[in-house]
Amino acid sequence: MTDTAVARKPVSRNRAATRARILEAAVSVFAGKGFDGARVEAIAKAANVNINLVYHYFGSKESLFIAVMEHAYSVIRSHHKDMELRNLPPAEAMRRLVSSTFRMFVCFPELIGLLASENIHEARHIRQSKVIRDLYNPLLDFIRETLARGVTERLFRPGIDPVELFISINAEGYFYISNRHTLAFIIHQDLMTEERLRQREAHIVDVILRFIAT
């Protein structure tokens, strides 16, 4: 290994760490303010970097937001763990998918603000991402195959649309977390205690599993 190669390693690590720090700050600012309300100056300040460095790494506010959304969707997909669930019995595989999807919203509440902002913009930014476009194809295939296995084993009823089921699984958790403050006020409960989260998780699993059962 040459002296030059040795010298470049810390620089490379620093660049990656700085980019990651900017991205982390951008997730928080965009989640709180939306694309329209977020300011690059605020992101630079949160990341403790010069604003020129933000533009150096990401080019523009729009490109930075696309990178944030790519990061967000990658985090979402990592929670699904569908590749790990493929060899499980169909009912257990579906149970774990529902649980991990709910826990994803709990662990990454910033996602609510990011998705709300992008829906206001009618998915304008993520449409530009080649990373996100096909990210969910393996998951939809997994749901389709798991349902088919369940039907073969007479555990699940036939005719369930995997896309509709995917939407329902996400909707159950998304609504709870996105409306946690208003719901807590009107039903007079703290919805974010671990006990309450476990109760909601069990309820969602029960709802989905009963829906698909024979």
Tell whether 42 and 80 lie within a shared domain.
no
- What's the pLDDT at 83? 82
Tokens of 11: 């620089």
User: Could you tell me the mean pLDDT of each successive run of 10 residues in the chain, 214 residues long?
Assistant: 50 81 97 97 97 96 98 91 90 96 94 96 96 93 97 98 97 96 98 98 98 97
Quote the number of domains for the chain.
Answer: 2
**Interior angle at CA 49, CA 43 and CA 50, nearest 5:** 95
Tell whether 81 and 174 lie within a shared domain.
yes
- What's the pLDDT at 79? 85
- What's the pLDDT at 103? 95
Cα 16 to Cα 20, 26, 42, 51, 72, distances in angstroms: 6, 15, 20, 17, 18
- What's the pLDDT at 78? 87
Cβ-based neighbour number of residue 174 at 10 Å: 18
- What's the pLDDT at 10? 54
- What's the pLDDT at 22? 97
Question: 77 lies in which domain range?
Answer: 62-212
Q: Find the CATH number of the domain harbouring 86.
A: 1.10.357.10
Q: What is the pTM of this model?
A: 0.87
Tell whether 99 and 26 lie within a shared domain.
no
Q: Which residue is listed with tokens 């096909």?
A: 134
Boundary residue ending a domain (19, 43, 59): 59
Of the candidates 204, 199, 196, 202, the residue with the CA atom closest to the CA atom of residue 175: 204
Cα 6 to Cα 1, 3, 9, 13, 18, distances in angstroms: 7, 5, 6, 12, 20
Tell whether 109 and 190 lie within a shared domain.
yes
Name 104's Cβ contacts closer than 8 Å, sequence gap at least 6: 75, 76, 79, 80, 111, 173
